[in-house]
């Protein structure tokens, strides 16, 4: 609990923030009367071919983006949903969106084929007090309805409905879960390079609905989402004592996580959300601890005398990847979650840091520094198959989207001797190095952390 410390934000500010929180899981699980979401399947329309829909892999779509025609879902909210859906799909680099104009009734498949479309989205929006959004996804070549769903919700949820529809299309076309209905926590930065103000912030994955969660009175770093609860762990220098805090997204309030004698930093949640793994400074080095959130009990799992930091659980919680200089330079190591069976996995040129395990369990992303420059890459958990995805003056802080397909990161530019020219942006890149692009943020940003789906 917070004791004898100035809070990061006041209770009044926390109450104000509460009105802006999304409470996403509550929205999905609640009844319509409580502002929730009602999902209804729609029966197939038009002639349905016995020929199955062609399967399209992500690798195929990366080489030749899927041409998909998206009809305008109507005026007002319908047009807004169409715009967000278009941006979601085209932003992946896996879809080539073809504007479809206004369509109603049975689709004109011949006209759609003439545009080169392979798939088509039609639908409509109706209602005012509550809105009903109908969406149908079609295989243009066969005339078969691949998906038909109606969403009934409050008008305020229109943007979220667009992301949910995008996730449905992504999964139906590519066979993988989508990631559009997610958020990214980050550190918002302002001011000069030498005197930057840092604030804990959150936004939708497309940059919309950005909110500042802390006042910026203290240096704030490394936010991480709880995978099962609306909660963020982060590090703050509040009261000039760096420690890990927990921020409740529903109430806007925060508390210290374990009042350690040393500095606590580099937090990450366990896959079940019941504990946090972090580093604590001790005797000139740092060790890794696991803190149980319910009881506050702590368990130390390293004691090498070196700097052990940046721990991250495997998706099943059985292993931890971390950074350590125990061998003479910062490298990546894996150990069991009990602290045993420690072995090094990074052997490339340079030093390694900020490891994070993919939600799929098949890759570990990292930052590598060699010859004075940064690169961002992935490797297999046994250290083989190292691949660099992007490089720059500074590229760091990788975080996977929920399906493991895309990594967000921070990209910073070099400043002049006077401090001008510095910029700090968020980027995203496919795990193959494809579609490296800038993510929209309200000003400069760093330290991204991707939420779970619907998080």
What are the tens digits of pLDDT across the range 46-99?
544 444 444 688 989 999 999 999 999 998 999 999 999 999 999 999 999 999
pLDDT at 203 over 80: yes
For tokens 């099962």, the residue is 228
**412, 424 contact by CB (below 8 A):** yes
Q: Look at residue 285 in the predicted model and tell me its pLDDT.
A: 94
Greater confidence, 12 or 303? 303
Q: Look at residue 313 in the predicted model and tell me its pLDDT.
A: 98
Q: Look at residue 407 in the predicted model and tell me its pLDDT.
A: 98
Residue range 5-30: mean pLDDT, rounded:
52
For strands 220-225 and 231-236, give the pairing: antiparallel
Which residues belong to CATH 3.40.50.10070 in the chain? 31-174
When the pLDDT of each residue in the chain is averaged and rounded to a whole number, the result is 90
For tokens 């998080």, the residue is 455
Q: What is the pLDDT of residues 334-358, one digit of tens each?
A: 999 999 999 999 999 999 999 999 9
Q: What percent of the chain has pLDDT over 70?
A: 89
pLDDT at 20 over 60: no
Tell me phi and psi for residue 229, to 5 degrees: -145, 150
Query: Measuring CA to CA, how many Å separate 164 from each of 117, 118, 144, 334?
Result: 22, 21, 21, 36
Distance CA 211, CA 199 (A): 10
Residue range 106-132: mean pLDDT, rounded:
93
Question: What single string gives the DSSP state of each residue in 168-225?
Answer: HHHHHHHSS----S-EEEEEEEEE-SSSEEEEEEEEETTS-S-EE-S-SSS-EEEEEE
By the 10 Å C-beta count (0-12 exposed, 13-18 middle, 19+ buried), 215 is classed as: middle
Distance CA 235, CA 333 (A): 23
pLDDT at 22 over 50: no
Q: Beta strands of 249-330 (E only): which ranges?
A: 254-256, 264-269, 275-282, 285-292, 298-300, 308-313, 319-324
Q: Look at residue 296 in the predicted model and tell me its pLDDT.
A: 94
User: Token pair for residue 182?
Assistant: 């997610």
Residue range 378-387: mean pLDDT, rounded:
98
Q: Which of 308, 225, 317, 334 is nearest to 270 (CA)?
A: 317
Q: Look at residue 10 in the predicted model and tell me its pLDDT.
A: 58
Residue range 128-136: mean pLDDT, rounded:
92
* pLDDT band, very low/low/confident/very high, at 6 (cuts 50, 70, 90): very low
Distance CA 265, CA 281 (A): 9
Distance CA 322, CA 311 (A): 4
Considering only 26-30, 44-48, 210-214, 248-252, which range has the smallest mean pLDDT? 26-30
For tokens 């009881």, the residue is 295
Which residues belong to CATH 2.120.10.30 in the chain? 183-450
* pLDDT band, very low/low/confident/very high, at 42 (cuts 50, 70, 90): confident
* pLDDT band, very low/low/confident/very high, at 414 (cuts 50, 70, 90): confident
Q: Look at residue 3 in the predicted model and tell me its pLDDT.
A: 36
Q: Please, what CATH class does the domain formed by 31-174 belong to?
A: alpha beta
**42, 134 contact by CB (below 8 A):** yes
User: Would the pTM of this model clear 0.95, i.e. be above it?
Assistant: no
Q: Look at residue 420 in the predicted model and tell me its pLDDT.
A: 72
Tell me phi and psi for residue 446, to 5 degrees: -155, 180
Residue range 306-314: mean pLDDT, rounded:
98
Helix axes 77-91, 158-174, angle to 10 degrees: 40
Q: What is the pLDDT of residues 145-164, one digit of tens each?
A: 999 999 999 999 999 999 99
pLDDT at 388 over 80: yes
pLDDT at 191 over 90: no
Q: Look at residue 34 in the predicted model and tell me its pLDDT.
A: 39
CA 335 to chain centre: 25
Distance CA 323, CA 315 (A): 18
Q: Look at residue 31 in the predicted model and tell me its pLDDT.
A: 44
183-450: CATH, from 2.60.120.10, 3.30.420.240, 2.120.10.30, 3.40.1380.20? 2.120.10.30
Q: Look at residue 24 in the predicted model and tell me its pLDDT.
A: 59
């Amino acid at each position: 609990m917070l004791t004898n410390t100035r809070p990061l934000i006041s209770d009044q500010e926390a109450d104000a923030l509460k009105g802006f929180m999304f409470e996403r899981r509550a929205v999905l699980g609640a009844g319509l009367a409580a502002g929730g979401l009602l999902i209804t399947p729609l029966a197939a329309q038009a002639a349905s071919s016995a020929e199955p829909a062609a399967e399209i892999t992500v690798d195929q779509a990366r080489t030749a983006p899927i041409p998909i025609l998206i009809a305008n879902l109507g005026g007002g909210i319908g047009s807004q949903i169409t715009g967000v859906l278009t941006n979601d799909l085209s932003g992946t680099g896996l879809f080539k969106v073809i504007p479809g104009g206004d369509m109603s009734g049975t689709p004109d498949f011949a006209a759609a084929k003439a545009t080169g479309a392979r798939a088509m989205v039609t639908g409509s929006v109706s209602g005012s007090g509550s809105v009903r959004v109908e969406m149908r996804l079609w295989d243009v070549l066969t005339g078969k309805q691949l998906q038909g769903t109606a969403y009934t919700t409050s008008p305020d949820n229109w943007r979220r409905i667009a992301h949910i529809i995008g996730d449905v299309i992504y999964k139906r076309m590519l066979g993988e879960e989508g990631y559009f209905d997610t958020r990214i926590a980050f550190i918002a930065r302002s001011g000069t390079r030498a005197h930057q103000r840092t604030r804990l912030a959150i936004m939708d994955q497309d940059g919309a609905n950005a909110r500042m969660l802390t006042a910026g009175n203290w240096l704030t770093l490394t936010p991480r989402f709880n995978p099962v609860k609306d909660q963020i762990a982060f590090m703050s220098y509040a009261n000039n004592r760096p420690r890990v805090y927990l921020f409740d997204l529903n109430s806007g309030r925060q508390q210290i996580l374990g009042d350690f004698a040393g500095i606590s930093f580099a937090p990450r949640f366990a896959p079940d959300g019941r504990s946090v793994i972090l580093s604590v400074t001790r005797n000139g080095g740092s060790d890794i601890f696991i803190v149980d959130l319910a009881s506050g009990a702590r368990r130390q799992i390293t004691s090498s005398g070196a700097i052990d930091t940046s721990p991250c659980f495997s998706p099943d919680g059985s292993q931890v990847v971390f950074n350590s200089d125990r061998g003479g330079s910062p490298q990546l190591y894996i150990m069991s979650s009990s602290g045993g069976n420690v072995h090094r996995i990074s052997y490339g040129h340079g030093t390694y840091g900020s490891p994070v395990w993919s939600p799929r369990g098949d890759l570990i992303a990292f930052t590598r520094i060699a010859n004075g420059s940064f690169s961002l890459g992935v490797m297999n958990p046994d250290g083989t198959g190292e691949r660099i995805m992007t490089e720059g003056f500074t590229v760091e802080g990788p975080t996977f989207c929920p399906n493991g397909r895309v990594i967000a990161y921070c990209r910073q530019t070099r400043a002049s001797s006077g401090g001008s020219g510095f910029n700090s942006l968020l980027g995203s890149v496919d795990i193959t190095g494809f579609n490296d692009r800038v993510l929209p943020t309200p000003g400069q940003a760093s330290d991204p952390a991707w939420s779970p789906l619907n998080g």
